[in-house]
Amino acid sequence: MVEQLSPLGPVWKPGSYGNLSRGVGVTISEIRPGSIVEAAAWHGSEKKLIAAIAKVTGLKLPDGAGGGVFKNGKGAFGIAPTRFLLVDQAEGLAERLLTVVPVDMGSVVDLSHGRTAIRISGPKAEWVLSKFFAIDFSETAFPLGSGKATVYHDFFTQIQRTAPQAFDLYVFRSFARSFWQLLCHGAEDVGYEVF
C-alpha cells in the first residue's frame, strides 16, 4: 500500500524544546495508525455492534458513556450515544468491520485519512491538555481506556486515555498542523520532546 503523507509537514521537528530545567514534561508524537474508523449502531442495536467490534478487533468495550479499551495498539471508545471510534495499527479495519456490521445493525465510516492521531504523554500531559480543554483529565474522571469528545475553540477533538500518563488525540486532519503547533506552544513551560 501507499504510505499516507503526514499533515504536519514542516512543523514536525523532532527534538527537545522549552523549559527542560525540570526534565521533559511531555512527549508529543504523531502516531499513525493504519485505521481510524467510526462505527455506529441504530438505537437498540448497540449490544450487537459491541459484539461485532469484539469479533473483529478482540476489544471488549465496557458499558457506559465514553467507555473504552486500549490494548496492543488497538483502541476503541464511545464518542456519542451508539457511536464508537476504533483504531487499529493495521489498515483495512473498515472493510473488516463491514463484513460483520449489516445495514440493519449500523454503519461504518472509514476516517483513516480524515483524522490525525497525536499522542501526548508524560508527567505533565494532564497539565498541558488542561490549558486547552475544559474537561477533567484526572484518572478518576478520565479512567484508562475511556474517551471523551470535546472542543477547544474550533479544534474538535476526541481523546482516549491510553496509559496513566498518555492521551491519544484525534483531530480533523485539516486542523492537525495548527493543533500541533498549539500543543507544542502550550508545552513549552514544562519542556517537551517531539518524535
Partner 1 sequence: MSPRRSSAGGRVDRTRTIRFTFDGRSFTGHAGDTLASALLANGMTLFGRSFKYHRPRGVMTAGIDEPNALVTLLKGDIREPNIPVTEIEIYDGLNAVSQNRSPSLAFDVGAINQYAGKLISAGFYYKTFMGPVIGPLKGTRFWMFCERFIRRAAGLGHAGTTADTARYERMNAFCDVLVVGGGPAGLMAAKAAASDGARVIVADLEAAFGGTAKWSGDVIDGKPASEWAAELADELAGMENVRLLPRTTVWGYYDGNTLAALERVSDHKANPESGEPRHRHWTIRAKTVVLATGGFERPLIFPGNDIPGVMLAGAVERFAGEYGVLPGERIALFTNNDSAYAAAANLKRAGAMVVAIIDVRPEISAAARELASKAGAEVRLGQAVVAAEGGKALTGVKVRNFEAATGMISGDPASLAVDCLAVSGGWSPAVHLASQAGGKPEWDEALQAFLPPKPTQKWIGAGAFTGAATTASAIADGQRAGLKAAGILAQGKEKLPSVSEPALDPSPAPVLEVRAHGKAFVDFQHDVTADDVRLAHQEGFISVEHLKRYTTLGMATDQGKTSNVPGLAIMADARGLSIPQVGTTRFRPPFSAVSLGSVAGERVGHIRPDRLTPMHDWHVEQGARMYAAGLWYRPMIYGAPGETVEQAYVREAKAVRESVGIVDVSTLGKIAVQGPDAAEFLDRVYTNLFSTLPVGKARYGLMLREDGLAMDDGTTWRLGENDFLMTTTTANAGKVMQHLEYFLDVVWPELKVHVTSVSDQWAGAAVAGPKSRDVLAACVTGTKVDNETLPFMGIVHGEIDGVPVMICRLSFSGEMAFEVYCGAGYGLQVWEALIEAGKPFNIVPYGLEALGTLRIEKGHVTGAEIDGRTTARDLHLGWLLSKKKPFIGSAMMDREGFVAPTRLQLVGLVSLDGRPLTGGAHIVENGSAEQLGQSIGHITATCYSPALGKYIGLALVRDGKSRHGKRAVISDPLRDRFGPVEIVNHIFFDPDGSRMHG
Partner 2 sequence: MLITCPYCGPRDLSEYTYQGDANRVRPDPASTDQAAWNDYVYDRINTAGEHREFWQHSGGCRAHLLVTRNTLTHAISFVGFAREHGEPKHLERRKGGKA
- Binding-site ranges for partner 1 (CB under 8 A): 2-7, 9-10, 18-19, 21, 38, 40, 42-43, 103-104, 106-107, 109-115, 130-131, 133-136, 138, 141, 153-155, 172-175, 177-179, 181-182, 185-191
Least distance to partner 1, CB of residue 187, Å: 8
Question: Across 95-194, where does the E strand assignment appear?
Answer: 106-110, 115-121, 147-152, 155-163, 166-172, 192-194
DSSP string, 166-195: EEEEEEEGGGHHHHHHHHHHHTGGG-EEE-
Please tell me the distance from the alpha carbon of residue 176 to that of residue 115, in angstroms, as a whole number: 8
For partner 1, the closer of residues 14 and 138 by Cβ is: 138
Amino acid identity for residue 85 in this structure:
L
Least distance to partner 1, CB of residue 131, Å: 6
Least distance to partner 2, CB of residue 151, Å: 3
**Residues that bind partner 2 in the complex, under the rule CB under 8 A:** 43, 65-66, 79-81, 83, 134-135, 148-151, 156
Q: Which three cell numbers stand for residue 140?
A: 478518576
Least distance to partner 1, CB of residue 160, Å: 18
